[in-house]
């Protein structure tokens, strides 16, 4: 099979090359230097990105690692992809960086073209976009949009009352209403105060930070292999949907749910999947109760699941109301279909920059590249190959709950300690890989990861389990 | 006087040139196109940034306006400044854009140098920085940092209890505590849920969005001219400080104040100033009650007040605990002095990108440029010149409450309508200028605005008042 990746990256290494412990002495020294001015307790190693290429990350000590983590799932087309280098060095980019506009007041003459490059690849039914700076930021915009829309529905677009205006200034009802966003247990939606109030993956993210009193519903805990547990998994999903609807009803008097937000695959929370039927259930329940449905594709978006947007695989009877994106888009924001979601007055959803044209230019190039090179098809093919390769380790009892769509694949080790040993062991053998949940390993290669890379990864897995 | 600006921008226009109504037909058409995919109700006109230069913005219709608003106070060195163009086209920039790192896990080998270029120009007493993406984001990080530190102080850095961990997952006490950030009335600190809970400038920003029940204190309403009202202004500031301390004490049982956040000049809220003595009072009161003191320099930072950081003019007995920045830095974050403000565990303050090296590179160049060209001195000189020029309009009764530091100048018109007519009239005569508060005009020129530009502005003011 001819390698698209080899054409794009003719100088990509053939294999990892590990010369030192990871982190090595130069990585450690650099982190020590960084920590004189910046907090870096979570640093694994220091990246030498000018030398990294394609699927391989080079670190400060000259170690070359096959990267299946790709900056926490955020580099879509490999390191130093020539198409992105070209976009980054363009005149349009320099203009965007040097003259960063206050887009809401003085949009750039280039802006219409820039956002068209995004909406061209939006999911079906989403002609509108709102741009943001991070996944958290995108989710907060979507939540705010939901709250504004719900209130406008309630007042039938009447003018604000004096009482609403004055009470809003003291953060009090009726101007600042008691309303909520419902998220699922184990979910991760970001770290700013609104987004963090919906994040439910781990205490370390939430401890000591005030949060809104917002509801949750259970996310299905499927039993694997799926084909052997169809009935019980279906019952599990129905149980979760029942509790979702009961919670929406119960909170109507306490703190009405403005929107339900869900990840197509709960990522930080452990790579938890559900069936299209489950998501259709959310769509039906939210419609029934005039609750908006937000799909958080911050981690799943832009190809890695084998679809451009993961939720496109659900074939819903009607699209979600909003879909947020970030990470592999290298910019952030949300797509939406109904222009009525936008308030009728200016300055309700507004800030100085509203996104970043520099990164929008990169995103437009990424979206075009993924589409024109049909990368979702190769992701499906390679994902199947990886799963088949991992199956034998599952059959041998080394791993469990092998799961995934496209190359968005995960499996479990017996314990959290075994998982941490696995990821550290893989790094020592030249494969950079991430964990999630309690004892899961998650694969997040870029979209140019191919069978030859999978072979190297599978060989390392084999070595780790034959020790 | 030789013009530094003329050396930097030899092709800067000598005067505005208005060819059409503003917005003109091309601006209107472009906004109509944008609105097919994006909300743009607040657009004044479309900027043609590739043609804009120095202090002059060119719009889509070829109108050339002297810009005293500069993308809501966010362009520091003029449009298409050659030094920034050079930084934007550098190899380091392309690397930063193409291989955007997950800085917390895999910092770039360039990162130590990049943050050193920021902390080199940090205010005295602030050797540490944390990077962010916007003013809202910077403030939310600072608020979270305050909450984490306060909780760690309370538990004396003991391990989290099981109850804290489990309750945090349902957004409940004790894991998610009831604590607050105190802000001042009329303040603006951003739009995300945490930042918006401290913003108190206008209902339109806050209506229909749930907010935390957090306290406020009054910001002094000074009477002008200051030199004629020293005693009553001093009493007004003492009244505000008294209420600040009473509020901190009163909320100790209800929702303890973790931090007080204040703008050196309340900007969106109406360009409200206070004396150094007032800010020293905040420092003293916060120290006394173990409350952290956050100075929000998102709008005042990077030179426009005649100091690099506005709060440096206060000569406090000890520095604030954190200082947030964005806008003219073209990136965002906060500086801090005490490393104990950072939690001892990784992943408490964390996200995928933690700022943006591309914009940090720009910020580093801006900071160096402001310092090496001693722009704060020329800002002080030009600011004095503008104020002297405006004084005669105040003496003639056209404007009131003329106030400002450096070129960070504002004045009031008799009514909101008169103010809106003034800014629209100025635009029609070729001067782009912004409003704030209820009936104020705010000047936010870049740091290369000189006497020759002030003369053009003052001439337009004269025309507007002789109509």
Q: How many CA atoms lie within 13 A of B177 on its CB side?
A: 23
- Tell me, yes or no, whether A378 lies in a domain: no
Using the 3D structure, point to which of B372, B394, B419 is the last residue of a domain.
B372
Cβ–Cβ below 8 Å for A171 and B205: no
Q: Residue for token digits 């749910």? A: A257
Q: Residue B220 is encoded by which pair of tokens?
A: 């002094």
Give the H/E segment covering residue B404.
strand B400-405
B310 touches chain A (CB under 8 A): no
B364 touches chain A (CB under 8 A): no
Q: Which domain holds residue B61?
A: 4-68+375-465
Distance, in Å, from the CA atom of A365 to the CA atom of A375, rounded to the nearest integer, reads 14
The share of chain A scoring above pLDDT 70, in percent, equals 100
Domain boundary pick from B372, B401, B421: B372
Task: Record the tokens describing residue A149, joined without a space.
Answer: 């829309």
> Are residues B212 and A193, on separate chains, in Cβ contact within 8 Å?
yes
Which among A39, A58, A76, A157 is the top mutation candidate for probing chain B, defined by the most B β-carbons within 10 Å of its own β-carbon? A39
User: Once rounded to an integer, what is the mean pLDDT over residues B406-432?
Assistant: 97
Q: pLDDT averaged over chain A?
A: 97
Contacts of B140 in chain A (CB under 8 A): 192-193
**Model confidence at B437: pLDDT above 90:** no
Least Cα distance to A371 among A445, A307, A299, A443 occurs for: A307
- The residue-averaged pLDDT of A307-315 equals 97
Interface residue A42 vs chain B (CB under 8 A): yes
Instruction: Give residue B56's pLDDT.
Output: 98
* Contact state of B109 with A84 under an 8 Å Cβ cutoff: no
Q: Looking at chain A, which residue has its C-alpha nearest residue B204?
A: A348
Residue B185 has pLDDT above 70, yes or no: yes
Q: Are residues B404 and B457 in the same domain?
A: yes
Handedness of CA A383, A388, A389, A394 (dihedral sign): positive
Distance in angstroms (rounded) separating the CA atoms of residues B122 and B329: 12
Q: What does the DSSP 8-state code read for residue A310?
A: G
Domain edge (last residue) among B320, B345, B372: B372
Q: How far apart are CA B287 and CA B407, in angstroms?
A: 32
What percent of chain B shows pLDDT beyond 70? 100
CB atoms within 10 A of CB A394: 17
Beta-sheet strand order (sheet of B257-262)? B128-132, B332-336, B322-325, B292-296, B257-262, B180-184, B216-217
Q: Which helix (H) or strand (E) holds A19?
A: none
Cβ atoms within 10 Å of A249's Cβ, excluding its own: 12
pLDDT in tens, B85-108: 999 999 999 999 999 999 999 999
Are residues B202 and B280 both part of a single domain? yes
For B445, other C-beta atoms within 10 Å of its C-beta total 29
Q: How far is CA A413 from CA A225, A269, A410, B111, in A?
A: 15, 15, 10, 34
Answer whether residue B84 is part of any domain.
no
Residue B2 has pLDDT above 80, yes or no: no
Q: Is B330 on the interface with A (CB under 8 A)?
A: yes
B178 and B142 together in one domain: yes
Assign residue A358 a region: left if phi > 0, alpha if psi is -120 to 50, beta otherwise? alpha
**Average pLDDT for chain B:** 97
Size of interface A-B (CB pairs under 8 A): 390
> Poorest-confidence range of A233-247, A266-280, B1-15, B214-228?
B1-15
Structure tokens at B31: 């906004």
Contact B50/A at CB under 8 A:
yes
Are residues B281 and B399 both part of a single domain? Answer: no
Q: Between chains, do B168 and A206 touch, taking CB under 8 Å as contact?
A: yes
Of the residues B350, B352, B415, B455, only one is catalytic, namely B352
Instruction: Decide if pLDDT at A2 tops 80.
Output: no
Mean pLDDT, to the nearest integer, of B251-278?
Answer: 97
Which CATH number fits the domain that encloses residue A106?
3.40.640.10
pLDDT at residue B454, as a whole number: 98
Using CA atoms, how far apart are residues A306 and A204, in angstroms rounded to an integer? 32
Catalytic residue flag (residue B152): no
Summarize the confidence of residues A45-53 as an average pLDDT: 98
Average pLDDT over residues B21-33: 97
Chain A CA closest to residue B137? A192
Q: Please indicate, yes or no, if residue A45 is contained in any of the structural domains.
A: no
Is A130 at the interface with chain B, CB within 8 A? yes
DSSP B218: P
Whether residue B275 is found in the same domain as residue B218: yes
Q: Is A399 exposed, middle or buried (0-12, 13-18, 19+ CB in 10 A)?
A: buried
Tell me what the mean pLDDT of segment A3-26 comes to.
97
Give A19 to chain B, closest Cα distance, Å: 18
**SS3 category, B33:** helix
Q: Where are the alpha helices (DSSP H) in A396-450?
A: 416-428
Could you check whether the bond before residue B426 is cis, i.e. omega within 30 degrees of 0? no
Q: What is the pLDDT of residue B467?
A: 72
How far is residue B69's CA from residue B71's CA, in Å, rounded to a whole number? 6
B59 within a domain of the structure (yes/no): yes
Domain-located, residue B100: yes
> Taking a contact as any Cβ pair under 8 Å apart, which residues of chain A between 95 and 114 contact chain B?
95, 97-102, 104-112
The phi and psi torsions of B250 (rounded to 5 degrees) equal -65, -35
- CATH code where residue B415 lies: 3.90.1150.10
Backbone angles phi, psi at B295, to 5 degrees: -100, 120
Q: What total of structural domains would you count in chain B? A: 2
Task: Give A-chain residues touching B177 at CB under 8 angstroms.
Answer: 208, 210
Is there a single domain that holds both residue B224 and residue B318?
yes
ipTM metric: 0.97
- State whether B310 and B385 are in the same domain: no
pLDDT at A467 over 90: no
Q: What is the pLDDT of residues B193-238, one digit of tens each?
A: 999 999 999 999 999 999 999 999 999 999 999 999 999 999 999 9
Verify whether residue B188 is a known catalytic residue: yes
**pLDDT value for A312:** 97
Q: How confident is the model at residue A437 (pLDDT cuts 50, 70, 90)?
A: confident
Residue B269: name the closest of B181, B189, B188, B192 by CA. B188
Chain segment A399-431, per-residue pLDDT in tens: 999 999 999 999 999 999 999 999 999 999 999
Where are the extended beta strands (E) located within A151-281? 180-184, 216-217, 257-262
Contacts of A125 (CB under 8 A, 6+ apart): A318, A319, A337
**In a shared domain, residues B251 and B383:** no
| Three-state DSSP state, A45 | coil
CA distance B387 to chain A (A): 27
Q: What is the pLDDT of residues B342-383, one digit of tens each?
A: 999 999 999 999 999 999 999 999 999 999 999 999 999 999
CB contact under 8 A, B212 and A37: no
User: Same domain, yes or no, for B215 and B172?
Assistant: yes
Inter-chain touch A212–B38, beta carbons under 8 Å: no
Q: In chain A, which residues have their Cβ closer than 8 Å to the Cβ of B165?
A: 203, 207
| Assigned token pair, A393 | 């380790």
Per-residue confidence band for A177, with pLDDT thresholds at 50, 70 and 90: very high
CA B463 to chain centre: 31
Q: Maximum distance among all alpha carbons in chain B?
A: 72
The 10s digit of each residue's pLDDT in A288-303 is: 999 999 999 999 999 9
Q: Is residue B215 part of a domain?
A: yes
Residue B85 lies in a domain: no
> Which positions 390-429 of B are in contact with A (Cβ < 8 Å)?
none
Tens digit of each residue's pLDDT (9 = 90 or more) over A64-121: 999 999 999 999 999 999 999 999 999 999 999 999 999 999 999 999 999 999 999 9
Tell if the CB–CB gap between B352 and A175 is shorter than 8 Å. no
pLDDT tens for each residue of B390-402: 999 999 999 999 9
For residue A63, is it within any domain?
no
Q: Residue A355 in contact with residue A325, Cβ under 8 Å?
A: no
- Largest Cα separation within chain A, whole Å, is 72
pLDDT in tens, A122-164: 999 999 999 999 999 999 999 999 999 999 999 999 999 999 9
**CA–CA dist B415, B421 (Å, integer):** 10
User: Same domain, yes or no, for B397 and B410?
Assistant: yes
Nearest to B72 among A102, A137, A164 (CB): A102
- Is the Cβ–Cβ distance between B61 and B27 less than 8 Å? yes
The pair of three-digit structure tokens given for residue B339, joined into one six-digit string: 């490393």
8 A C-beta contact, residue B68 and residue B432: yes
Residue B55 sits in the same domain as residue B132 = no
Per-residue pLDDT, averaged over B122-127, amounts to 95
């Amino acid at each position: 099979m001819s390698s698209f990746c080899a054409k794009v990256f003719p100088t990509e290494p053939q294999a990892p090359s590990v010369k030192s412990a990871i982190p090595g002495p130069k990585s450690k020294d650099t982190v020590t230097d960084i920590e004189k001015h910046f907090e870096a307790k979570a640093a694994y190693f220091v990246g030498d990105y000018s030398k990294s290429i394609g699927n391989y990350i080079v670190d400060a000590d000259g170690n070359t690692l096959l990267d299946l983590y790709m900056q926490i799932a955020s580099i879509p087309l490999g390191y130093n992809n020539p198409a992105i280098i070209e976009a980054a060095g363009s005149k349009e980019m320099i203009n965007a960086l040097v003259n960063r506009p206050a887009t809401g007041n003085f949009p750039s003459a280039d802006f219409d073209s820039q956002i068209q490059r995004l909406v061209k690849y939006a999911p079906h039914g989403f002609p509108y976009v709102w741009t943001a700076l991070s996944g958290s930021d995108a989710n907060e915009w979507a939540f705010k949009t939901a709250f504004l829309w719900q209130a406008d529905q309630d007042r039938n677009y009447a003018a604000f009352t004096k009482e609403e205006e004055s009470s809003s200034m003291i953060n009090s009802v009726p101007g600042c209403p008691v309303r909520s966003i419902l998220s699922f247990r184990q979910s991760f939606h970001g770290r700013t105060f609104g987004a963090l109030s919906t994040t439910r993956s781990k205490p370390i993210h939430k401890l000591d930070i005030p949060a809104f009193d917002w509801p949750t519903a259970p996310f299905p805990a499927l039993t694997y292999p799926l084909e052997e547990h169809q009935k019980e998994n279906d019952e599990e999903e129905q149980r979760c949907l029942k509790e979702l609807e009961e919670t929406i009803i119960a909170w109507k008097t306490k703190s009405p749910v403005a929107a339900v937000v869900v990840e197509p695959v709960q990522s930080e929370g452990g790579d938890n999947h559900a069936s299209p039927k489950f998501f259709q259930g959310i769509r039906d329940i939210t419609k029934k109760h005039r609750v908006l449905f937000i799909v958080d594709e911050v981690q799943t978006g832009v190809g890695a699941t084998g679809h451009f947007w993961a939720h496109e695989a659900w074939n819903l009877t009607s699209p979600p109301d909003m879909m947020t994106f970030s990470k592999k888009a290298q910019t952030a924001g949300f797509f939406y279909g109904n222009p009525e979601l936008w308030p009728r007055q200016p300055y309700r959803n507004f800030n100085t920059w509203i996104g970043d044209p520099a990164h929008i230019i990169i995103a437009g190039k990424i979206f075009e590249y993924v589409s024109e090179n049909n990368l979702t098809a190769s992701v499906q093919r390679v994902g199947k190959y990886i799963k088949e390769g991992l199956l034998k380790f599952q059959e041998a009892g080394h791993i469990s709950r092998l799961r995934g769509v496209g190359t968005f694949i995960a499996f479990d080790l017996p314990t959290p300690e075994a998982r941490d040993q696995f990821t550290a062991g893989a790094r020592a053998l030249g494969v950079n890989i991430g964990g999630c949940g309690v004892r899961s390993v998650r694969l997040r290669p870029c979209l140019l990861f191919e069978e030859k890379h999978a072979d190297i990864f599978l060989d390392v897995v084999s070595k780790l389990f034959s020790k």
